[in-house]
Amino acid sequence: MKKFKILTYGCQMNVADSERMAAQLKKIGYNSTDDFDDADLILINTCCVRESAEDRVYGKIGELKHLKRKNPKLIIGIAGCMAQKEGENLIRRAPHIDFILGTGRLNQLINIVQSFENDLIANHIVEISNVDDGFSPIADFNNNSVSSFIPIMYGCNNFCTYCIVPHVRGRERSRKPQEIISEVETAVNNGVKEITLLGQNVNSYSYGFADLLKKIDSIKNLCRLRFMTSHPKDLSDDLIKTIRDGKNICEHIHLPVQYGSDKILKKMNRIYTVEKYRQLVKKIRAEIPNVSLTTDLIVGFPGETDEDFNQTLDFIREIKFDAAYTFIYSRRSGTPAAEFEDQVDESLKHERLKKLMDVQNEISLEINEKLNGKIFEILTEGVSKTDENIFTGRTRTNKLILFKHRDEKVGDLINVKIIQPQTWILKGERI
């Protein structure tokens, strides 16, 4: 039996794509392995959203060279966003790569692998045509996972000036509701309990996102329904009410604000103002009082002054996000912001990132401390990475809970009482 190893970088969209590629490979007789040395096929699914993501991939590609020397029959493929962006360049830089598979071409994977197996190919294959070959194949859900990511749309039309995603994922296209619903049903029938619907901006789902959520919420035996990401420019009242009234729709919204000054938001092409965002949060909290809100923030965007940065600090102190993913602006060639003249000095970017994280950590801790003594239903996820006696699970609001393991199994819904809240996790005990 031949074996494959897929290594995934980047966002949940890539995780979903990797599962789909794995399903394709299983169809042609491959089994998954965790061991690189044991694999007949290695696939790296890549991200290029920041330079640091690309650096990690280049490092990994370098490490694979000696495996190819040991086993010349080994097939090495690079898929995902960086494959789409770099194409041929990757092979020029690392000739031990056999094929490049762009983001819209997942359906070609079987053909490509088979042509290498049949020695039909003397050289390399680069498959990055911009033409989308239809939607990616569906994943197979026979891997005992409790949680699954299901893409409802691909691509992005927003063109935030810093962002490479629209350039490597193409224009927005939505999957048909019926196709998504039947995929969710298949997943649930295979034991999946939690579904996260994915799109770069789910609010622009062509067939109505709130409607889709309602339909999926009524699927029997699904315990939890999540989604990401929502763009603040077009999160509808209908969606807020749907979350409020939903049965299994979790009370957590990831709502990237990116920045807290109008001047920078405008230069980022985010379409909303600080005030519009503030009003949106007010409305969400009025309708869904126990909602948790998380966000993404970028520091060091071109033209950022101390005053802009301080406005951002003030804004996160005002909004009080449950958590924030904070990034240093990374110049992506091909995007408008890469050409802006007033780039911020690297050391200043790092200084600001640290300040931003310090402020946010204080807020996260303050919010979590208020949960002390409270009881939550959590969906258990498994043994903690650092301690085998500890189990982890998440609240509907997406807070990570750690508790002493007794006889719980992965995927159990249990009640825990919070006994020790911390910044990133909360310790609890089963009741």
Q: How far is the CB of 206 from ligand SAH (least distance, A)?
A: 16
Nearer to ligand SAH, 169 or 224 (CB): 169
Query: Which window, 114-122, 130-138, 156-164, 387-395, contacts ligand SF4 (CB under 6 A)?
Result: 156-164
Task: Give DSSP secondary structure letters for 51-90.
Answer: HHHHHHHHHHHHHTHHHHHH-TT-EEEEEEHHHHHHTHHH
Report, in Å, the least distance between residue 13 CB and ligand SF4.
10
330 binds, among ligand SF4, ligand SAH, ligand F3S, none (CB under 5 to 8 A by kind): ligand SAH
Nearer Cβ to ligand SAH (219/271): 271
Does residue 54 contact residue 78 with C-beta atoms inside 8 Å?
no
Q: Which of residues 242-261 bind ligand SAH (CB under 6 A)?
A: 256, 258
Contacted by 225, from ligand F3S, ligand SF4, ligand SAH, none: CB < 5 to 8 Å by type: none
Which residues, numbered 163-222, are part of the site for ligand F3S (CB under 6 A)?
A: 164-165, 168-169
Measure the CA–CA gap between 201 and 387, rounded to whole angstroms: 36
* β-strand partners of 375: 417
**Between 209-217 and 177-189, two packed helices, what is the crossing angle to 10 degrees?**
30
Residue 159 contact partner, candidates ligand F3S, ligand SF4, ligand SAH, none, CB within 5 to 8 A by sort of partner: ligand SF4
CA–CA distance, 411 with 382 (Å, rounded to integer) = 8
Q: Draw the binding track, 137-166, toward ligand F3S (x: CB under 6 A; -: no contact).
A: ---------------------------xx-
Closest residue (Cβ) to ligand SAH?
A: 296
- The reply to whether 163 sits near ligand SF4 by the rule CB under 6 A is yes
In the complex, minimum distance from the CB of residue 50 to ligand SF4, in angstroms, rounded to a whole number: 12
State the SS3 of 218-286.
Answer: CCCCCCEEEEECCCHHHCCHHHHHHHHHCCCECCEEECCCECCCHHHHHHCCCCCCHHHHHHHHHHHHH
Which residue stretch of 69-77, 144-152, 157-165, 360-368 sits at the interface with ligand SF4 (rule: CB under 6 A)?
A: 157-165
Q: What is the CA radius of gyration of the chain?
A: 22
Sign of the C-alpha dihedral computed for residues 399, 323, 290 and 216 taken in this order: negative
Given 11, 101, 106, 353, the residue binding ligand F3S (CB under 6 A): 11
Residue nearest ligand F3S, Cβ-based: 10
Structure tokens given for 268: 């980022």
Q: Which amino acid is at 253?
A: I
Give the CA count within 13 Å in the CB-facing half-sphere of 125.
23
Among 84, 200, 248, 398, binds ligand SF4 (CB under 6 A): 200
Does 229 engage in binding with ligand SAH (CB under 6 A)? Answer: yes
Residues forming contacts to ligand SAH in the complex (CB under 6 A) are 49-50, 162-163, 165, 200-201, 229, 231, 256, 258, 296, 298, 327, 329-330, 332
